[in-house]
Amino acid sequence: MVEYDSTALDSVFQALSDGTRRRMLRSLSSGPHSVGELAAPFRISLAAASKHIKVLERAGLVERRIQGRTHLCQLRAEAMAEAGQWLGYYQQFWAQRLDALQAALEADPIEPEHGRTS
């Protein structure tokens, strides 16, 4: 298995554990957004949105830059790619188990009971 920086990976998964932050990342996938634009769909304060963005920044998923009075956030998908690689390593085990289940189901078909009344 490829070795990963546990602290960085923990930060990414912690950041992704919140639905608000995942939706913010989805919004950012279409391009940079201001903090206000990211907060708008949730009806949360700018301070609350900023706290979510700080979690995403610490995980390396978002970069914030200031243009005048506007804070613009941009997606940095590199950290998410590492999490995807980590999950991908385990995908082989999931696939093997599903293949084994399929083979077992196909090998032992369930036959309907005859002569039974409801």
Q: How many CB atoms lie within 10 A of CB 39?
A: 21
Parse the chain into domains and list their residue ranges: 1-107
What is the per-residue pLDDT for 5? Answer: 66
What is the per-residue pLDDT for 113? Answer: 67
**Gap between the Cα atoms of 95 and 89, Å rounded:** 11
Q: How many CB atoms lie within 10 A of CB 68?
A: 5
Residue 72's nearest CA partner among 41, 31, 18, 42 is 31
More confident residue, 83 or 14: 14
Task: Write down the pTM of the prediction.
Answer: 0.73
Give the three-state DSSP class for 59: coil
Does the domain at residues 1-107 carry the CATH identifier 1.10.150.120?
Answer: no
Q: pLDDT-derived band of residue 75, with 50, 70 and 90 as boundaries?
A: very high
Single-letter amino acid, residue 6: S
pLDDT digits (tens, 9 = 90+) for 30-72: 999 999 999 999 989 999 999 999 999 999 999 999 999 999 9
Give the three-state DSSP class for 19: helix
pLDDT surpassing 60 at residue 1: no
Q: For residue 80, what are the CA distances in angstroms to 10, 74, 76, 102?
A: 11, 14, 8, 31
pLDDT surpassing 90 at residue 111: no
